[in-house]
């Protein structure tokens, strides 16, 4: 059942009960993968931090923090989950199976972190570290320390394209407070209205996009 996954991650579970728990979403009951997700999140962050520290010896704390954030953010975890086709193994409630593709994508990130936690419980720190670095090899080798990374609006657009969603329409209105102009922008996304304001239309749109990205990264959708 898990042969292809074992080949992809270059690791085979000794205790498949742990792996079964990795794929058990909280919509299925009290015994689920939330604790494994918590563990995996911490381990992933520590392994990536150590690797960046050793790779980029001249980089500042701020630069390392920025790069790490790009590697462990929700959209990156979702991408990793899609590459491993983890959703096919997910144990969801009947109601959760009927949620949108976009919401299913958010579940991928949580399963990926739970997988990391499961590997650690099933093996050791060194073996888990080896799996993580293997899965992140291309990401780590393609890092340009001078790269400013994508702004929130561009990142959101790229993500929506990757899951087959249409680009969002930002509706902005100009306001005047005292001697300064201000813009308020809003977007309807996944049934919710996201809005924010800024000194320019661009800044307001960036703030709105960042709010939406955070909702994708951290919200776990259940029925």
Residues of the domain holding 169: 157-217
**Residue 113 bears catalytic tag:** yes
pLDDT at residue number 12: 97
**Residue 34 bears catalytic tag:** no
Distance CA 125, CA 103 (A): 31
pLDDT at residue number 150: 64
pTM summary value: 0.69
CATH of the domain at 83: 1.10.1520.10
The average pLDDT across 135-141 equals: 95
Quick one: 130 and 174 in the same domain?
Answer: no
pLDDT at residue number 98: 60
Q: Which of 153, 207, 150 is nearest to 184 (CA)?
A: 207
The single residue of 3, 7, 37, 41 carrying the catalytic annotation is 41
Instruction: Convert the pLDDT of each residue in 58-116 to its tens digit.
Output: 988 888 888 898 899 888 898 899 999 998 899 887 666 665 554 556 788 999 999 99
The single residue of 37, 103, 113, 169 carrying the catalytic annotation is 113
118 in a structural domain? yes
pLDDT at residue number 221: 37
Quick one: 140 and 177 in the same domain?
Answer: no
Instruction: Convert the pLDDT of each residue in 147-206 to its tens digit.
Output: 645 678 887 887 787 777 888 999 999 886 656 778 999 999 988 899 999 888 999 999
Quick one: 175 and 87 in the same domain?
Answer: no
Whether pLDDT at 220 is above 50: no
What mean pLDDT is reported for the chain? 87
Residues 182 and 199: beta-carbon distance below 8 Å: yes
**Cβ-based burial of 86 (10 A; exposed 0-12, middle 13-18, buried ≥19):** buried
């Amino acid at each position: 059942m898990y042969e292809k996954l074992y080949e992809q991650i270059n690791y085979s579970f000794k205790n498949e009960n742990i792996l079964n728990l990795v794929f058990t979403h909280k919509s299925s009951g009290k015994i689920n993968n939330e604790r494994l997700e918590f563990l995996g999140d911490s381990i992933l962050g520590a392994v990536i931090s150590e690797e960046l520290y050793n790779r980029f010896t001249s980089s500042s704390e701020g630069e390392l923090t920025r790069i790490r954030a790009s590697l462990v953010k929700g959209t990156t975890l979702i991408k990793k989950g899609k590459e491993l086709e983890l959703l096919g193994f997910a144990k969801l409630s009947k109601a959760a199976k009927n949620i949108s593709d976009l919401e299913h994508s958010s579940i991928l990130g949580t399963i990926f972190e739970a997988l990391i936690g499961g590997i650690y419980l099933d093996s050791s720190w060194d073996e888990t570290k080896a799996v993580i670095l293997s899965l992140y090899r291309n990401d780590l080798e393609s890092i340009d320390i001078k790269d400013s990374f994508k702004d929130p609006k561009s990142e959101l657009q790229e993500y929506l394209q990757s899951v087959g969603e249409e680009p969002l329409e930002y509706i902005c209105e100009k306001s005047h407070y005292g001697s300064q102009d201000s813009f308020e922008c809003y977007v309807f996304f996944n049934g919710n209205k996201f809005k924010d304001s800024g000194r320019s239309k661009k800044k307001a749109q960036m703030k709105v996009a960042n709010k939406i990205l955070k909702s994708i990264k951290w919200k776990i959708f259940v029925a």
